[in-house]
Amino acid sequence: MTKNIELQNKSLFQTQGFINGEWVDAQSKKTFIVTNPANDVPIAEVANMGAQETNQAIEAAEIAFQQWKLSPIKERYSLLMKWYQLIMDNQKDLATLMVVEQGKPYAEAAGEVIYAATFVQWFAEQGKRMNGVVKSAFSPNAELKYTKEPVGVVGIVTPWNFPLTMITRKVAPAIAAGCSVVVKPSELTPLSAFALAELAQQAGMPKGLINIIPTDDAASVGNALTASATVRKISFTGSTRVGKILMKQSADTVKRTSMELGGNAPFIVFDSADINTTIEALMASKFRNAGQTCVCANRILVQSKIYDEFVDSFIKKTQQLKVGNGLEEGVTIGPLINKQALEKVDTFVQNTLSKGAECLLGGKPHELGFTFFQPTILSNVPQDSPYNCEEIFGPVAPLIKFDTEEQGIAIANDTVHGLAAYFCSQDYRQINRVNQALRSGMIGINTGIFSNEFGPFGGVKESGIGREGSELGIEEYLDIKYSLLSFQ
Ligand code: ADP
């Protein structure tokens, strides 16, 4: 099946699970097929693993952890930096693999390779800064201190929309902290995960430190990871629904959890906004990855005075998007991930139109067929539209008009989610007021893209627990040990 994917470094194309430093088949010999979302062509037949292989991986990870937790920080640093360099050196192949299994345009995929690699580089450095604290003022006859220790084996479950970054953003801090990991990638994009593991192996990562369990039976692997008392932490990115399941399952062994869950991002355009800045920010936030990110603008709230001018510019800019296979030159919108995704987006659009919304652009599956959907703009979206409470995950922009700043903020906060929020304004007092009023883990002000290794990524309310990236990301993989030593 490799004939569909042209790679310079053939070692990056793996189809087996990765356990204890070896590529292995499922014990049952079962496989599942990974297809290209742009044309439905099968691209790989992948080992279909389950609880048994997961438990083997956990055992290997525990043995690796016992050694790795004692490794000097400089050793972790060099290994992570080698891994970083290999990811960068293989940027083109990793990008090609990603386009073929995930669908995003090549330029976005090449950008994601760098984005993913920078988390490895960043956490190689952050590993040097895992400091404890000594409180010398406590008593002349005692030493009061706290130190940080790796939590142990980490179970990691990741989605398909950023097949590399969602893994490096968790695995790199875990490894830097001294942990080992068992990763279950999405069944839709396991090839990128395998390529990362292959490069980690080539970087010299000790066996058992990183294990990858591919499966199309996510629940069986999720159950095994959460049931194991050896696994001390679950780090998950995906839907709020599955996040809640994993949190409940983790309760029995009181595991630590990091949950990066669904969003329902408002994008507020105030009358004071600069139109060009606004449109640029919105295009990036709304249409990146064909609208399939958890921080994509989900509800576009536009103040009444600027509404007409905004709509005009937004339509013109959206008409310039080019839909197609991500490997084709100039394509800016790839396919949706699969048929179900297309049907879901289509149903949302039809439901919203039937409730009185108006279609200003697109509104239908694209003539290219398969899983392509037209870039779509809907206006007059009523408050009881499904868009107001669900993630769209497609190239559809619903517009809601509002009159006052208070109304805009109230609509924006009227959701159980709180991952990302955006607003555009040139009024510095308004910027301060709105920034304070929005209940959201992350806020983009006059920008549509804020995710990078420097900033803490994460949500509030039902959008999750914990932060990834920044100096906080590594703390998710560290336990605190408080010691009081008396000299009396
Ligand atoms: P998305 O809508 O982004 O696919 P999901 O939450 O369905 O979000 O999937 C994210 C990840 O969670 C994927 O790797 C998927 O296989 C996995 N997953 C889905 N259901 C379960 C489950 N019951 N237990 C563990 N992992 C699961």
Confidence (pLDDT) at 387:
65
Please indicate, yes or no, if residue 488 is contained in any of the structural domains. no
Same domain, 418 and 294: yes
Confidence (pLDDT) at 372:
98
Tens of pLDDT, residues 384-426: 676 677 899 999 999 999 999 999 999 999 999 999 999 999 9
Give the nearest ligand 1 atom to 237 CA: 10
Tens of pLDDT, residues 326-354: 999 999 999 999 999 999 999 999 999 99
Confidence (pLDDT) at 383:
72
Element of type H or E holding 47: strand 42-47
Give the nearest ligand 1 atom to 249 CA: 24
Report the separation in Å between the CA atom of 248 and the middle of ligand 1, taken as the mean of its atom positions.
Answer: 15
Same domain, 293 and 220: no
Please report how many Cα atoms fall inside a 13 Å half-sphere around the Cα of residue 33, on the Cβ side: 8
Give the nearest ligand 1 atom to 225 CA: 25
Report the separation in Å between the CA atom of 258 and the middle of ligand 1, taken as the mean of its atom positions.
Answer: 15
Same domain, 257 and 312: no
Same domain, 367 and 229: no
Distances (CA, A) of 41 to 16, 37, 103, 186, 242: 20, 8, 12, 18, 28
Same domain, 474 and 438: no
Q: Bin 384: left if φ > 0, else alpha if -120 < ψ < 50, else beta.
A: alpha
Report the separation in Å between the CA atom of 413 and the middle of ligand 1, taken as the mean of its atom positions.
Answer: 26
Pairing of strands 464-465, 256-260: antiparallel
Confidence (pLDDT) at 389:
76
Element of type H or E holding 197: helix 190-203
Report the separation in Å between the CA atom of 34 and the middle of ligand 1, taken as the mean of its atom positions.
Answer: 16
Q: Which residues line ligand 1 (CB under 6 A)?
A: 157-159, 184, 186-187, 218-219, 222, 238-239, 242, 245-246
Pocket test for ligand 1, best of 46, 48, 182, 186 (most atoms within 8 A of CB): 186
- Ligand 1, atom 17, lies closest to the CA of 218
Give the nearest ligand 1 atom to 245 CA: 23
Round to whole Å and give the CA distance between 379 and 359: 6
Query: pTM to 2 decimals?
Result: 0.97
- Ligand 1, atom 11, lies closest to the CA of 159
Tens of pLDDT, residues 177-200: 999 999 999 999 999 999 999 999
Residues with Cβ within 8 Å of 235's Cβ and at least 6 positions away in sequence, in order, are: 154, 155, 156, 157, 170, 174, 257, 258, 466, 476
- Torsions phi, psi of 375, nearest 5? -55, 130
Mean pLDDT of 239-256: 98
Nearest by Cα to 420 from 244, 298, 282, 277: 298
Mean pLDDT score of the chain: 96
Percent pLDDT > 70 in the chain is 99
Number of neighbours of residue 137 by Cβ within 10 angstroms: 7
Tens of pLDDT, residues 63-103: 999 999 999 999 999 999 999 999 999 999 999 999 999 99
Tens of pLDDT, residues 13-72: 999 999 999 999 999 999 999 999 999 999 999 999 999 999 999 999 999 999 999 999
Please indicate, yes or no, if residue 55 is contained in any of the structural domains. yes
User: How many structural domains does the chain have?
Assistant: 2
Round to whole Å and give the CA distance between 139 and 345: 64
101 is catalytic: no
- Ligand 1, atom 14, lies closest to the CA of 186
Domain that holds residue 426: 265-452
Round to whole Å and give the CA distance between 75 and 124: 10
Same domain, 365 and 474: no
Mean pLDDT of 252-259: 98
Q: Bin 268: left if φ > 0, else alpha if -120 < ψ < 50, else beta.
A: beta
Among 179, 294, 296, 424, which one carries the catalytic annotation? 294
Same domain, 276 and 151: no
Among 59, 108, 260, 453, which one carries the catalytic annotation? 260
359 is catalytic: no
- Give the distance between the most distant pair of CA atoms in the chain: 81
Round to whole Å and give the CA distance between 18 and 472: 29
Nearest by Cα to 234 from 205, 213, 254, 210: 254
Edge-to-edge order in the sheet of strand 231-237: 22-24, 17-19, 210-212, 180-184, 153-157, 231-237, 256-260, 464-465
Mean pLDDT of 271-287: 98
Cβ proximity of 182 and 213 under 8 Å: yes
Confidence (pLDDT) at 75:
98
Please indicate, yes or no, if residue 458 is contained in any of the structural domains. no
Please indicate, yes or no, if residue 58 is contained in any of the structural domains. yes
Pocket test for ligand 1, best of 192, 237, 242, 246 (most atoms within 8 A of CB): 242
Please indicate, yes or no, if residue 147 is contained in any of the structural domains. yes
Tens of pLDDT, residues 192-222: 999 999 999 999 999 999 999 999 999 999 9
- Alpha helix (H) ranges present in 288-403? 307-319, 339-354
Q: SS3 for 426?
A: coil
Same domain, 173 and 318: no
Same domain, 233 and 315: no
Confidence (pLDDT) at 129:
95
CATH number for the domain that contains residue 39: 3.40.605.10
- Ligand 1, atom 7, lies closest to the CA of 239
Looking at the DSSP assignment, which residues form a beta bridge with residue 481? 147
Report the separation in Å between the CA atom of 239 and the middle of ligand 1, taken as the mean of its atom positions.
Answer: 7
Give the nearest ligand 1 atom to 337 CA: 4
Element of type H or E holding 33: strand 31-35
Mean pLDDT of 260-281: 98
Same domain, 171 and 225: yes
Report the separation in Å between the CA atom of 162 and the middle of ligand 1, taken as the mean of its atom positions.
Answer: 14
CATH number for the domain that contains residue 317: 3.40.309.10
Nearest by Cα to 414 from 424, 432, 431, 402: 402
Report the separation in Å between the CA atom of 242 and the middle of ligand 1, taken as the mean of its atom positions.
Answer: 6
Residue with tokens 């590529």: 23
Please indicate, yes or no, if residue 457 is contained in any of the structural domains. no
Residue with tokens 């958890």: 294
Same domain, 276 and 190: no
Pocket test for ligand 1, best of 32, 157, 213, 338 (most atoms within 8 A of CB): 157
